[in-house]
Amino acid sequence: MDATRGGFAYKINGYGSSLPFNHSENVADQERCLELARAYGDDEFTKYAEHHAEIIRRFGRFPHRNALLGRATNSDEQAFLDGGGFAG
């Protein structure tokens, strides 16, 4: 499909505009991502956005990034990760 018309362009704009918010560890950014995801109207996309936002609300950060960023992982974060929590 032509990237300048139709659903393909909309999909790029819908997902692409939310990605910086989706990957942020800031609660306000996560809320903005949810607004964009809901406006986009894709249930699967909204589900992922809600999952990301819940992790940030719960921990204030993405625990799966801790090792990479040299951050200590607390016991609640470790339990989340050990239980199959978000892996990135």
CATH number of the domain enclosing 11: 1.25.40.10
- Residues 46-56: tens digit of each pLDDT: 999 999 999 99
- Residues 49-83: tens digit of each pLDDT: 999 999 999 999 999 999 999 999 999 999 999 99
In 10 A of CB 52, how many CB atoms? Answer: 22
Q: Is residue 72 part of a domain?
A: yes
Q: How many domains does the chain have?
A: 1
Q: Is residue 59 part of a domain?
A: yes
Q: Is residue 11 part of a domain?
A: yes
What distance in Å separates the CA atoms of residue 57 and residue 24, rounded to the nearest whole number? 12
Q: Is residue 14 part of a domain?
A: yes
Q: Is residue 1 part of a domain?
A: no
Could you tell me which residues come within 8 angstroms of residue 20 by beta carbon, excluding any fewer than 6 positions away? 29
Q: Is residue 77 part of a domain?
A: yes
Q: Is residue 54 part of a domain?
A: yes
